[in-house]
Amino acid sequence: MDFAELVRGFPELTTTGLVQGAIYALIALGYTLVYGVLRLINFAHSEVFMIGTFGAIWTWAAFGLDSNSGAPSVGRSLLLIALAIVAAALLSGSVALLIEVTAYRPLRRRNAPPLAFLITAIGASYALMELMGTLTQRRQIGSPALLPADTLFSIGGWSVTPVQMLTLSVAIIMMVGLDWFVNRTRFGKGIRAVAQDANTAALMGVNKSRVIALVFVLGGLMAGVAAVFSDMKSGNTRYNIGFLLGLKAFSAAVLGGIGNLRGAAIGGIMLGLVENYGSALFGSQWRDLIAFVVLIVLLMFRPTGLLGESLGRARA
């Protein structure tokens, strides 16, 4: 164990951990939203994210930028990032809605047992992954450099790059916005009502199908935003990027308490930090192992996750 490495790298490990955690958290929200309302693990959500990573890169390509282009001016970069966020969010949101309407809704109509949903989720996930794999010849696709890679500001040993700053700010805005939407608006109230008691919600005049569609779209939007920052963080994407990232984001959702929005956010951030600190301590080859061991151990002590409430019960 290399404590010196952990101590020396602590500021940097914290920043990069927070950034990775923010990406996990944004994806985790989609798992938790759908679970809260349908008690369904939407395994295809990882591919909703994956398609978003391509959506962003295609958007940039449409403006003539690829991994070999030089970085545009800061103003133009910010504009391109904003455009990519909108495009990826819309694309991911649409894909999520499409999955709900074509795969899950017919099952609900026929009162299918939970196992049918699970298999459909896994099937939809692989189908989308293979579709994108074929379309992109299973190649890794690079993302253009957009913001300068140098330090934006540093306090003591703590330095933050523009991309990191932007990732964290946008992630926080998205999460606060979602929290507000679910807890404060009429539609949000409909979501919470269906999550707590779907039949009674119908007796209040809530259209369950519309709430379910909304929840898929919201989760998709969040995953699309995460996708843009994932592209900028790692500099590329691939058809199978959703597999491990999705699994970790799902773990983050469980870690925080599946069905609980704030839990998903906290779980994501925690996972990002823990695997960073852990890999400094034990070596980076252990990163993924650490992430999942922490999950297993934590669940032994807190089987319902850190916050452990359902979406419906989560209150402002």
Partner 1 sequence: MLLEIDNLKLLYGRIEALHGISLHVEQGEIVALIGANGAGKTTTMKAISGLHAISGGSIRFDGTDVSRLRADLRVIRGIGQSPEGRGVFPGMTVLENLEMGAYTRRDKADIAKDLAMVFDLFPRLHERRKQAGGTLSGGEQQMLAVGRALMTRPKLLLLDEPSMGLAPKLIQQIFEIITRINEQGTTILLVEQNAQQALSRAHRGYVLETGRIVKEGTGQELLHDPAVKEAYLGVA
CB of 196 to partner 1, least distance (A): 5
Binding residue (CB under 8 A) for partner 1 from 1, 4, 115, 203: 203
Name 201's bridge partners.
none
For residue 314, state whether it binds partner 1 (rule: CB under 8 A): yes
Distances (CA, A) of 292 to 205, 246, 271: 42, 13, 9
Tell me if 258 contacts partner 1 by CB under 8 A: no
39 binds partner 1 (CB under 8 A): no
Least CB distance to partner 1 at residue 208 (A): 7
Binding status of residue 284 toward partner 1 by CB under 8 A: no
CB of 260 to partner 1, least distance (A): 10
Residue 191 is a binding residue for partner 1 (CB under 8 A): no
Determine, following the binding rule CB under 8 A, whether residue 310 of this chain makes contact with partner 1. yes
Q: Of the two residues 192 and 248, which places its CB atom closer to partner 1 in the complex?
A: 192
**201 contributes a contact to partner 1 by CB under 8 A:** yes
**Which of 17, 21, 190, 219 touches partner 1 by CB under 8 A?**
190
Question: In sequence order, which residues have a C-beta less than 8 Å from that of residue 35 and are 6 or more positions away?
Answer: 41, 42, 253, 258, 259, 311
3-state secondary structure of 148: coil
Stretch that binds partner 1, among 62-70, 194-202, 230-238, 282-290 (CB under 8 A): 194-202
> Could you give the string, one character per residue 290-309, with x where binding to partner 1 holds by CB under 8 A and - elsewhere?
-------------------x
Burial 39-54 (b: 16+ CB within 10 A, else e): ebbbbbbbbbbbbbbb
Parallel, antiparallel, or unpaired for β 158-160 and 236-237?
unpaired
H or E element, residue 197: none
Q: Which is nearer to partner 1, 8 or 184 (CB)?
A: 184
Query: Do residues 263 and 253 touch, judged by C-beta distance below 8 A?
Result: yes
Q: Which of 134, 154, 200, 284 binds partner 1 (CB under 8 A)?
A: 200
> Count of residues for the chain?
316
Amino acid at 160: V
Does 208 bind partner 1 (CB under 8 A)? Our answer is yes
CB of 301 to partner 1, least distance (A): 24
Q: Nearest distance from residue 313's CB to partner 1, in Å?
A: 4
**CA dihedral sign, ordered 215, 218, 222, 227:** positive
Amino acid in position 59: T
Task: Work out whether 169 is an interface residue with partner 1 (CB under 8 A).
Answer: no
Q: Minimum CB separation from partner 1 for residue 199, in Å? A: 5
Residue type at 277 in one-letter notation: Y
By CB under 8 A, residue 313 contacts partner 1: yes
Q: Which residues of 7-37 are buried (b: 16+ CB within 10 A; e: fewer)?
A: eebbeebbbbbbbbbbbbbbbbbbbbbbbbb
DSSP for residue 102: I
Q: Is 37 in the site for partner 1 (CB under 8 A)?
A: no
Summarize as ranges the residues that interact with partner 1 (CB under 8 A).
186, 189-190, 192-193, 196-197, 199-208, 309-310, 312-315
